[in-house]
Structure 1
Amino acid sequence: MEAAAIVDRKVAGIVDSIPPLRLANIVRAALWQADPEAARAAAETKAEERGVWAGRTDEHGTTTLFVKAATGDVIHFNATIRQIADALAELGDTDTLDLRRAKAIGIIADRELARELLAVAQHLTNTGSRKSSTS
């Protein structure tokens, strides 16, 4: 009851004046304040749901990969995928961004190839920058 009262006090005056997502964030923060032990236990339970799962492979040799991980890790992984996709474009790959991002998964699986690809793309970018700045 005490925890519910803390949450009530935080949101009662604003519940009708803010978007649902913002309200949910405020409620979540109030719950952490009201009952940190329960909030920590809930976070630990959610963390145990993390994993990586491969879906079924279709008749064309395509498989969906499902990832449920810490937000920071997903953001970093997504940025790495984009960096490799951009490097592929820099090296002349004309496929769509989505296809280059899919290719990046295979490249990430080969750590040395990923390092080499990014180093070459960085060199080309730096060389191109110098040429355009001296022109």
Structure 2
Amino acid sequence: MQPFNNLTQVVTLTGAQLKTILEQQFVGGPNAQPFQKILQPSANFTYTYSKSAPWGGKVRDMKLDGVAVTDGQQIRVSANNFLVGGGDAFAGFKDGTDVWSGPLDIDAFVAYLGANQPTSPPAVNRITVVE
């Protein structure tokens, strides 16, 4: 997350658009990702990806608050403005709508830490990897 000083942004994506972005984490596909770049989801979002599945079919079982995400579902997703602008070959973010820009990421992080003491790391079971 640091030391880039990007703006925090929130964008509306459909479930299908979110799946595309998660597929864009992996080498190959139309975005030509040069190496695997795994995004870190919020504590209330989980999914499974298959190492052996072909690009476009790697991501499955996306859940928000334990409920399956549907293709047409509208989801508000937070990321930095670099990613929302399609940086690091995450072009799917550019298809989002209703972009909201907030503070610099470092300022948001400092405010979060100040308001949430003590802070513990989130659970590590948000992403399940299968062969």
**Alignment TM class, shorter chain as reference:** under 0.3
Scaled by the length of structure 1, the TM-score of the pair is: 0.19
Larger-gyration structure (1/2):
1
TM-score by length of 2: 0.19
- Structure of higher RCO (CA pairs closer than 8 Å, 6+ residues apart): 2
Relative to its length, the structure with more helix (as a share) is 1
